[in-house]
Amino acid sequence: MRDGICPKCGSNDVYKRRNGLHDGDRDGRVTLITGPLNSPSPTMAYVCANCGYFELYIDDTIKLAQISEHWERAHGQN
């Protein structure tokens, strides 16, 4: 998706926007729990204008490093 190609329909009609997904009360950032002090992280949203599929990425390298320290690594089955 970040390469500009939709993984669902194959269209290149893909657009992105920083903090582009807004849930009403917030400004498009999300809060990931990594400890007692959690601040909202910016996101980058990608939307396919052909089929409507979208993806959301955390756009915060410090928070991503904290996630790898505090969250459980995902494996194939569980």
In the complex, least distance from residue 49 CB atom to Zn ion, rounded to whole angstroms: 8
Enter the tokens of residue 9: 């329909």
Per rule CB under 5 A, count of chain residues that contact Zn ion: 8
Q: 7 to 36, contacts with Zn ion by CB under 5 A?
A: 8-9, 11
User: Residue 15 is inside which H or E element, if any?
Assistant: strand 14-18
User: Residue 61 is inside which H or E element, if any?
Assistant: helix 61-70
Beta bridge partners of 55: 46
What is the spatial distance between Cα 22 and Cα 36, in angstroms, rounded to a whole number? 25
String of contacts with Zn ion for each residue 39-78, x by CB under 5 A: ---------x-xx-x-------------------------
Q: What is the binding site for Zn ion (CB under 5 A)?
A: 6, 8-9, 11, 48, 50-51, 53
